[in-house]
């Protein structure tokens, strides 16, 4: 599975008026970076950069002198993302700007079903938040110490690591890259025979003697009619209940 993790920086917050001034994107296949990267600084073509936006990303209009306008890099960007899912944090913001730039050139928009929003994924997985990129890096132990300001390429690299964690972590990604994982991903998981061998010796109990004694005291205090007492006496409470209902 080919996916493009990407981020944009812009002159402001209004996609109808403001312009994209930086795109950073990295390619991942089966959740692993391939090393292919797209990164461009873009001249806003007559649009000033709002001071609040510049305070966030640190990109000045002077630093974009001589950089290409969006029309000059659009074909290269389209070639890079062709056939891939697009993954972004707060993707609505980025896609509004990208599609606005495409519309100015007469290009069709990117379809919504090709876009994955990691902010939505994070809010589902961690409903109590916070779910900013920095907060997710802290949650998953991802080093974001170089992120003193927003930057499209660095944010894409960090987001790629966060994305893998959101969808199951590095273990799941490694499984997808294995023969078993690849077979399952292609719908062939049922064709693999996996032999589970018994342990040569059972694992030692993790329950201490003190914990066992505390449990026994708790069960004794529940009385002889408690479920725990019946289980420890060898009865099957669920089976007894079903028989009673059947009778």
- The catalytic site residues sit at 150
| CA separation for the pair 135, 243 (Å, rounded) | 53
DSSP alpha helix (H) spans, the chain: 51-57, 70-81, 91-104, 118-125, 133-140, 152-166, 169-176, 179-185, 209-222, 227-232, 237-246
What is the residue whose two structure tokens read 């894409």? 156
Strand order in the sheet with 20-29: 32-41, 20-29, 2-10, 85-88, 115-117
Rounded to the nearest 10°, the torsion over CA 201, 205, 209, 215 is -140
Which whole-number Å values give the CA distances from 80 to 26, 76, 91, 129, in the listed order?
9, 6, 18, 33
* DSSP-assigned states of every residue in 173-220: HHHHTSHHHHHHHTT-GGG-----PPPSSPPPP---HHHHHHHHHHHH
Tokens of 166: 């959101």
């Amino acid at each position: 599975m080919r996916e493009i993790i990407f981020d944009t920086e812009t002159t402001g917050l209004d996609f109808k008026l403001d312009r994209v001034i930086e795109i950073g994107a990295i390619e991942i296949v089966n959740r692993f970076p391939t090393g292919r990267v797209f990164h461009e600084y873009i001249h806003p073509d007559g649009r000033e950069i709002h001071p609040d936006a510049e305070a966030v990303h640190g990109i000045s209009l002077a630093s974009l002198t001589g950089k290409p306008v969006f029309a000059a890099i659009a074909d290269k960007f389209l070639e890079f993302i062709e056939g891939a899912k697009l993954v972004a944090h707060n993707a609505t913001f980025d896609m509004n700007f990208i599609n606005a730039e495409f519309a100015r050139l007469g290009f069709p928009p990117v379809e919504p079903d090709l876009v994955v929003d990691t902010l939505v994924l994070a809010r589902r997985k961690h409903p109590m938040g916070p779910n900013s990129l920095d907060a997710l890096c802290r949650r998953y132990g991802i080093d974001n110490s170089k992120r003193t300001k927003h930057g499209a390429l660095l944010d894409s690299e960090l987001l790629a690591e966060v994305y893998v964690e959101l969808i199951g972590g590095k273990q799941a990604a490694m499984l997808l890259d294995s023969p078993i994982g690849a077979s399952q991903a292609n719908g062939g998981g049922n064709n693999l025979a996996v032999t589970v061998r018994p342990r040569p010796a059972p694992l030692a109990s993790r329950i201490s003697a003190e914990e066992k004694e505390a449990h026994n005291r708790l069960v004794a205090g529940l009385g002889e009619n408690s479920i725990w007492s019946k289980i420890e006496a060898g009865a099957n409470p669920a089976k007894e209940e079903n028989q009673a209902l059947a009778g």
